[in-house]
Amino acid sequence: MDTCCHSSLSATLLEGFPESLPPKFLVEHLDQLLVVDLRCSQLYSLGHIRGSYSLPLKKKKLLNSEVADSYVHKWLRKLSKFVDEERLKKNCVFHVVLYDHSSTETTKWNPIWKLFNRCHQLRLFDGSIFVLNGGFSLFSHLYPKDVVGCRVIEGSEKTAALVPLFRCNMFQDSAPCKIFSFVFLGNERNASDRDTLESLQITHILIVGEELVAHFPGVYEYKQLMIRDLETQELHPFLEEAIDFIERAKYSGKVLVHCYAGVSRSAAIVLAYLIYLGNTFEESWKFLVSRKKDIQPLGNFIRQLQQYEEQCKSLQLFDSCV
């Protein structure tokens, strides 16, 4: 078999990427890689990387120890078929790149790591397998011309927030999720629904997103955090004012914390608040997932929250010694 693609990529360029590939590399070698979209078919149809295959990954099954093994085997058989088809078409070995909404390196907080590790263990095809660093979220922001089915929304002259169409249609029908008696986690549609806000007795609204607006100024007390849903976004500069706002709302009313979809940026802020209350990151994660199962903060947000946990521990230790 002619392994021109395999030799040209693996021998030189791929050696520096043991687990994840940067978006720039993917763009430069897109025609030599088999790119697989792990998101649901609806998200794929609304926006995906050019030339990628849709092979949805059901994360609940992957995290269920009783069915995970059989599910992984079925999924990998489907992947092998895609690889074999490409090999026959172009007569070369293809390396596989997996991505979901915000794939980063294969940490235990991302279900992809189980699939990634199993792929390496089984070695079902000749090429290597990687995770796209930053996932669809980062890639679509950096290379919109290589994405099918996205549109750009201008937030200001300085910043342009790329909002894939899937975010406009998915997640938006859900009601605000009650985290505590005084904290609700929701999305943009919730924040614009006056009847819902009144029924929940909301008094404060924490907007987590630079592209969003206050719908009822003067009616509710607002705080806006200029946070973008990107792997390059820093959370730390915003955490103190976010927590102060939630704490203030606790004593005078109820607060809705929301971003656009209610699953990434706003979830990260609520996780930070839970850590602030004295919980570990893992305890905070489990608690929030028990309340809202569809949260999916970016991998970079998760890493920063783990760092925030260490900072909180250091402060608590210092206070106890004073």
The pLDDT of residue 165 is above 60: no
CA distance 194 to 199: 9
Which has more confidence, 136 or 113? 136
Half-sphere exposure for 170 (CA within 13 Å, toward CB): 18
Q: 77-81, 159-163, 183-187, 318-322 — which is least confidently predicted?
A: 159-163
Which range, 61-65, 67-71, 119-123, 219-223, is most confident? 219-223
- Taking residues 164-185, what's their average pLDDT? 71
- The per-residue pLDDT for 244 is 97
Q: Is 312 tagged catalytic?
A: no
- Taking residues 168-181, what's their average pLDDT? 73
- The per-residue pLDDT for 15 is 54
pTM of this prediction? Answer: 0.55
- The per-residue pLDDT for 71 is 83
The mean pLDDT of the chain is 78
Q: How confident is the model at residue 291 (pLDDT cuts 50, 70, 90)?
A: very high
- The per-residue pLDDT for 269 is 98
Cα dist from 87 to 91, 119, 130, whole Å: 5, 18, 18
Q: How confident is the model at residue 3 (pLDDT cuts 50, 70, 90)?
A: very low
Q: How confident is the model at residue 46 (pLDDT cuts 50, 70, 90)?
A: confident
Which residue has tokens 């009601």? 175
Domains of the chain (ranges; CATH) run 4-148 (3.40.250.10), 171-321 (3.90.190.10)
List the catalytic residue out of 5, 92, 177, 259: 259
- The per-residue pLDDT for 13 is 54
Helix (H) or strand (E) holding 97: strand 95-99
The answer to whether 113 and 103 have CB atoms below 8 angstroms apart is no
